[in-house]
Amino acid sequence: MLRITGGKVYDPKNGVRGEIRDVCIAGGKIVSDVPPHARTIDASGMIVFPGGVDVHTHVAGAALNFARGLIPEQHRKSRPIFHTPQCRAGLAGSTPTTFATGYVYAGMGWTTANEAAVPILSAKHTHEELADTPIIDKCCCVLMANNEIILDLLETAEFERAKQVAAWQVWAAKAYGVKAVNPGGVAGWKWGKDCKGLNEPVPGYKNVTPRSIIKALADIIDQLALPHPLHIHCNNLGAPGNYTTTLETMKALEGNRAHMAHLQYHSYGGDDWFTMKSASVPIAEYFNAHPNLTCDAGAVLFGDTVTITADGPWQHLLYELTGRKWGNLDVENETGCGVVPYVYKEKNLVNAIQWAVGLELLLLITDPWRVCLTTDHPNGATFWRYPEIVRLLMDREFRKEQLKHIPEKVLSRIVLPDLDREYTLSEIAIITSAGPARTLGLAQKGHLGIGADADVAVFNERKDAMEMFSYPRFVIKSGQLIIEEGELRNSIEGSQFASKPTYDSAIEDYLRPLFSQHYTMSFENYPVTEECVHGLNVHQCGSCTQPG
């Protein structure tokens, strides 16, 4: 039992904006009161936030682990996490080790993370890593927009069966949501091709187009009543002029719920790398007018990182541009992934535009509940650099200072210099916690109301937001004190959320023969069993609604 007293509480979901009040904790939950003998934390001069929720990050699984193997030279420069009796050893850096991931997230007051890209074939691997990722609660999105069994069904217009297969796959992967990456483009990449527009048939198909995949998956997810909407990484990621594809995708999603992942990478104007410019204004305008959509920023910060995405064709292009290392890993019938180490440079025209676009979107999108703070870790920057972005959002003068470092010719291609908005602490609490929790459909996360999970971060109130949010004084996870006086004192295990949509188990009889034809493992060994998922917490989805 615990009472946090004297702190300024920011709990946007419950309308609390910096009022001094007590937060009481018992049995891992927020409660209305605790007896006088409960331990009291004096939070005078501090601010109290609900624990951070990351809606889109890459912290576990085959692709990330492939990347770890590719960059030993970066690990050498990474921050070591020392072995102590409370704490397992590891390395932070651009691809933190499993244990380090848990400690570093908790160490900055973030307590829930959504691993955004899981192939079913290696979902068991992802769950093994998540089991070794301490403290934080986790969930993951299974990759579906290039799954050949689904695409084959869409080719022959068997929507109902595709829906059954999708539901079966979500549960087989013990996933929470569904992610679409470059719909059709990754399947095309397996022949060395890509999908640029939404209306061209996917290589190898006659009827299936990226548009038909997007629409079908969004319908499937809405009808299955999954708690998180379709999580979509649009076609044409990273390419100059791609904002038109993004607009088209958003238009195709009218009438559906959808979450636009790392929108920064999809908001570029211009015709080529030399004329590239920001297109955050038309994207934000459309987005602001369409409340069916949520997004995360996918912001970029300057420095070393490694880019990892299921978007194989984009990664090959990046390899040709950089001439650096390139790793690619295609997963049978389901997806692929590319890995390229990368440095975002201030003096590089393209990188400077990318940096600006991420911030512009965060500042131009008017409803903070619909935009989440992310860097698409580790693609735009590592997650432990979030406090830098918070400062950039809260401090206009600091932003102006930073703009001096980028090439002058960039200034006419971005709108960032014209934006005067400064985020308030309440708005920061929304984009880092309350909003992403709502977007994920995690009702017990992202707030401090009675009955919520007792995930709380307490920061010293300071003028410099970056300093303030880098080192919380106290972090409480599931009611347990994890960080005390800025030090990791205790490590606990987190839970994992999975969704169970309803499906007709007869679908297995349909899948089994297909499976032995196309896959190389036994159908029976393919699904992840419940025992394999550490701290499994199942969200039973409502009954499947029929198309109206």
Partner 1 sequence: MSCTLGEVKNRADFIIYWGGNPAECHPRHFTRYTLTQKGKFLPRGRKDRTMVLVDIRETMSAKAADIFLQVRPGKDFEMLTILRALVKNQKVRAEAAAETGLTLEQLQDLVNRMKAAKFGVLFFGMGLSMTRGKHMNSAAALTLAAELNAFTKFVAMPMRGHGNVTGADVVMRYTLSYPFGINMSRGYPRFNPGEYSTVDLLVRGDTDATIVIGADPGATMPKPAIEHLKRTPTIVLDPKVTHTSKLSRVHFTTAATGISAPGTAYRMDEVPLPLRPALKSPYLTDEEVLKRIITALQKKPAWQPAVKGGEQIA
Partner 2 sequence: MSTAVTPEPTKHELHVVKHAVCTFCGCVCDDIELHANEERIVETKRACILGESWFKHHTAERLYPDALIDGKEATYDEAVEVAADILYQAHMPLVYGLSNTTCEAQRQAVWLAELVGGVIDSHTSL
Q: Please give the residue ranges that form the binding site for partner 2 (CB under 8 A).
A: 83, 88-89, 128, 132, 521-522, 524-525
φ and ψ at residue 211, rounded to 5 degrees:
-60, -45
Q: How far apart are CA 15 and CA 11, in angstroms?
A: 6
Q: How far apart are CA 546 and CA 220, in angstroms?
A: 10
Using DSSP's 3-state secondary structure scheme, residue 327 falls into strand
State in angstroms the smallest separation of the CB of 514 from partner 1: 10
Q: How far apart are CA 268 and CA 298, in angstroms?
A: 13
Pattern 267-296, partner 1, x by CB under 8 A = ------------------------------
Residue 529 contact, options partner 1, partner 2, none, Cβ 5-8 Å cut-off depending on partner type = partner 1
Query: Which one of 15, 191, 418, 420 is in contact with partner 1 (CB under 8 A)?
Result: 191
Using DSSP's 3-state secondary structure scheme, residue 118 falls into strand
Question: How many CB atoms lie under 10 A from the CB of residue 44?
Answer: 10
State in angstroms the smallest separation of the CB of 523 from partner 2: 8
Site size toward partner 1, by CB under 8 A: 57
State in angstroms the smallest separation of the CB of 95 from partner 1: 7
Nearer to partner 1, 99 or 474 (CB): 99
Query: Which one of 17, 29, 290, 316 is in contact with partner 1 (CB under 8 A)?
Result: 316
State in angstroms the smallest separation of the CB of 530 from partner 1: 12
Check residue 13 for interaction with partner 1 (CB under 8 A). no
DSSP states along 330-375: EETTTEEEEEEEEEE-TT-HHHHHHHHHHHHHHHH-S-GGGEE---
State in angstroms the smallest separation of the CB of 89 from partner 2: 5
Token representation of residue 139: 């969930």
Cα dihedral: 282, 302, 471, 46 (round 10): -40
Query: Which one of 41, 91, 173, 186 is in contact with partner 1 (CB under 8 A)?
Result: 91
The secondary structure of the chain in percent helix, strand, coil, rounded to multiples of 5, reads 35, 25, 40
Cα dihedral: 517, 520, 522, 525 (round 10): -140
Question: How many CB atoms lie under 10 A from the CB of residue 523?
Answer: 15
- Give the residue ranges of DSSP H helices in 134-178: 148-155, 159-172
Query: Which one of 160, 219, 330, 346 is in contact with partner 1 (CB under 8 A)?
Result: 330
CB 29 within 8 A of CB 454: yes
Query: Which one of 5, 18, 21, 128 is in contact with partner 1 (CB under 8 A)?
Result: 128
Check residue 99 for interaction with partner 1 (CB under 8 A). yes
The DSSP code for 192 is T
| Whole-number Cα distances in Å, 269 to 272, 353, 462 | 9, 10, 38
Nearer to partner 1, 355 or 384 (CB): 384
Query: Which range, of 254-262, 361-369, 446-454, 512-520, touches partner 1 by CB under 8 A?
Result: 512-520
Nearer to partner 2, 81 or 234 (CB): 81
| Whole-number Cα distances in Å, 124 to 158, 163, 170, 337, 535 | 29, 23, 13, 17, 14
Token representation of residue 317: 């292009």
Q: How far apart are CA 383 and CA 381, in angstroms?
A: 6
Residue 51 contact, options partner 2, partner 1, none, Cβ 5-8 Å cut-off depending on partner type = none
Check residue 146 for interaction with partner 1 (CB under 8 A). no
Check residue 32 for interaction with partner 1 (CB under 8 A). no
Burial of 306 per CB tally in 10 Å (0-12, 13-18, 19+): buried
Nearer to partner 1, 93 or 436 (CB): 93
Q: How far apart are CA 221 and CA 228, in angstroms?
A: 8
Residue 190 contact, options partner 1, partner 2, none, Cβ 5-8 Å cut-off depending on partner type = partner 1
State in angstroms the smallest separation of the CB of 91 from partner 2: 13
Nearer to partner 1, 328 or 537 (CB): 328
Check residue 520 for interaction with partner 1 (CB under 8 A). yes
Q: How far apart are CA 483 and CA 136, in angstroms?
A: 13
Check residue 536 for interaction with partner 1 (CB under 8 A). no
CB 482 within 8 A of CB 468: no
Check residue 125 for interaction with partner 1 (CB under 8 A). yes
Residue 201 contact, options partner 1, partner 2, none, Cβ 5-8 Å cut-off depending on partner type = none
State in angstroms the smallest separation of the CB of 347 from partner 1: 28
Nearer to partner 1, 152 or 395 (CB): 152
Q: Which residues bind partner 1 (CB under 8 A)?
A: 60, 62, 65-66, 68-69, 72, 75-76, 78, 80-85, 88-91, 93, 95, 97-99, 121-122, 124-125, 128-129, 132, 148, 190-192, 204, 316, 319-320, 326-333, 336, 517-521, 525, 529, 532
